[in-house]
Amino acid sequence: MITDSLIGRKEELFALRTYMASEKSEFIAVYGRRRVGKTFLVRHAVNDEFAFYVTGMDNVKMPEQLLNFTLELRRASGKQIEVPKNWLLAFEALICYLESLPAGKKVVFIDELPWMDTNKSNFTPALEHFWNAWASRRNDIKLIVCGSATSWMMDHLINNRGGLHNRLTQKVPLNPFTLAEVEEYLMDRGFSYGRHEIAECYMSMGGIPYYLSKMNKGLSLAQNIDELFFVDNAKLEGEQINLYQALFKHSEKHIKVVAALSKKMKGMTRTEILNNTHLTNNGALSKVLRELESCGFIRHYVPFGKNKNDALYQLIDFYTLFYFAFIEQNKYRDEHFWSNSYGSGVHAAWSGYAFEILCLTHISKIKQALGISGVQSLASSWIGKYENQTTQIDLLIDRRDQTINVCEMKFAADEYEITKKEEETLRRRISIFKNATNTKKSLMLTLITTFSLKQNPHSGIVQKVITLDQLF
């Protein structure tokens, strides 16, 4: 019986419980990146009442997977079942067990499903046969499958064109916590951090429940980050390699791409990625980029006024960004590397960019604060020049109501103060954008910052201020 409280996930929990209560068999895929809480959600949704529950094993071959499956079937049935020679026989044994149970709903949960699909195992056809030939013809089977390898889930289940095409009855994507959910999680566990600290925590490791669960409420945020990543035998030591290897086959290519993107925060074109990684320009690279995007590590976007040939790939995973900015740089094994980095140029550069990504991942909250939740809009960046002057705008919200919010994002420890020099820079930036794009829309300079804008002779250039509180 699961006892820990479930934070957030209200929509996903309601959906799963609705599917559990339906009068037909359901084939449900719950998917999302590693450590995001998929198993925890499923266990809560069914109150740990499974007819059969098995978890795939990482990096083992078919015989070990079949043995693991059989051992769980033995525990569930109380019978001495022989280890089958293949997956078709394994699912036949599962059918025999399920048919022996009393009438009523029967929940089958296969966790880490992609790990079971080992090379030449014919696992997927056997799963297809189990569902198509038996389970789907009944009204009492609830088959739930989970997988951290989001790309496998997308390719083999959700977008499958074979025997499982359109066979899934329900899909439940699970995303990292939002800022508000991280705050709720930490408060539920007795932390007393303020929102500035919670935002920095989010910028370090994202809204990943597993990472948050490793934190100690008796330590400051800086101490916790040192304990998680920098001390000897740190709690999350080696997480970068483990994370990518668990999600992707041939993960060295994926790591090369994100390492390259970490060096150019605004993103790279496909050509720039090729030049920096020395990978081959073929379908394999396209697959790597697609898998990274489907797992939420990168995003693919077209800058304002450009076409799809100018599209950029941008690193947006908080932990990966933090890894390349700090963990990889800790060459002298400083156990207080994070604490000692406070106030440094590296910390300032990282926090500025991570806050921009934080804003991008909470764009719906920004639109809500602007009062334009119902207005069609497109968020993008812009790089351009006019009369030999080049500038860059990190976030534009291009609205159908003839307005563009030109956003400046500043992570600060206090009220943000605009200097005379910065006012001149902002005016020049807006002028270059207006002339270079020939836009006829109204331009509204919008400051998104942690606390507020300090009023002075230069603050009047800002038309709208959004604070960190409004992102929660």
- Identify the pLDDT of residue 247: 86
Q: Burial level of 345, CB count in 10 A (0-12/13-18/19+)? A: exposed
- Identify the pLDDT of residue 14: 95
DSSP notation for 341-355: HTTSHHHHHHHHHHH
Describe the crossing of helices 62-77 and 87-99 by its angle, rounded to 10 degrees.
10
Q: Which residues belong to CATH 3.40.50.300 in the chain?
A: 10-173
| Residue 225: pLDDT band with limits 50, 70, 90 | very high
Fold of 362-471: Trna Endonuclease; Chain: A, domain 1 (3.40.1350)
- Identify the pLDDT of residue 256: 97
More confident residue, 250 or 101: 101
pLDDT digits (tens, 9 = 90+) for 97-154: 999 999 999 999 999 999 999 999 999 999 999 999 999 999 999 999 998 877 788 8
Answer yes or no: is pLDDT of 453 > 80.
yes
- Identify the pLDDT of residue 377: 92
Mean predicted lDDT score pLDDT of the chain: 93
For domain 240-326, say whether CATH 1.10.10.10 is its number: yes
The DSSP secondary-structure symbol of 311 reads -
Residue corresponding to tokens 């599962």: 94
Answer yes or no: is pLDDT of 5 > 90.
no
CA dist., res. 450 & res. 447, Å (int):
10
Strand partners, 173: 31
pLDDT digits (tens, 9 = 90+) for 384-431: 989 989 999 989 999 999 999 999 999 999 999 999 999 999 999 999
Lowest-pLDDT range of 62-76, 129-143, 241-255, 366-380: 241-255
Q: Which residues belong to CATH 1.10.10.10 in the chain?
A: 240-326
CA dist., res. 452 & res. 420, Å (int):
18
Fold of 10-173: Rossmann fold (3.40.50)
Strand partners, 315: 298
CA dist., res. 210 & res. 238, Å (int):
15
Q: Quote the longest CA-to-CA distance of the chain.
A: 81
- Identify the pLDDT of residue 152: 83
Residue corresponding to tokens 């925060």: 265
CA dist., res. 370 & res. 444, Å (int):
11
pLDDT digits (tens, 9 = 90+) for 82-95: 999 999 999 999 99
| Residue 2: pLDDT band with limits 50, 70, 90 | low
Answer yes or no: is pLDDT of 253 > 70.
yes
- Identify the pLDDT of residue 1: 62
Answer yes or no: is pLDDT of 227 > 80.
yes
What percent of the chain has pLDDT above 90? 81
Q: Which residues belong to CATH 3.40.1350.10 in the chain?
A: 362-471
* Region for 34 from its dihedrals, namely left if φ exceeds 0, alpha if ψ lies in -120 to 50, beta otherwise: beta
Answer yes or no: is pLDDT of 165 > 70.
no
- Identify the pLDDT of residue 276: 96
Answer yes or no: is pLDDT of 192 > 80.
yes
pTM over 0.85: yes
Most confident of 5-9, 57-61, 299-303, 442-446: 442-446
Structure tokens at 291: 């898998």
pLDDT digits (tens, 9 = 90+) for 47-63: 999 999 999 998 899 99
Answer yes or no: is pLDDT of 166 > 80.
no
CA dist., res. 68 & res. 81, Å (int):
12
pLDDT digits (tens, 9 = 90+) for 285-325: 999 999 999 888 999 999 988 888 889 999 999 999 999 99
| Residue 163: pLDDT band with limits 50, 70, 90 | low
Answer yes or no: is pLDDT of 176 > 90.
yes
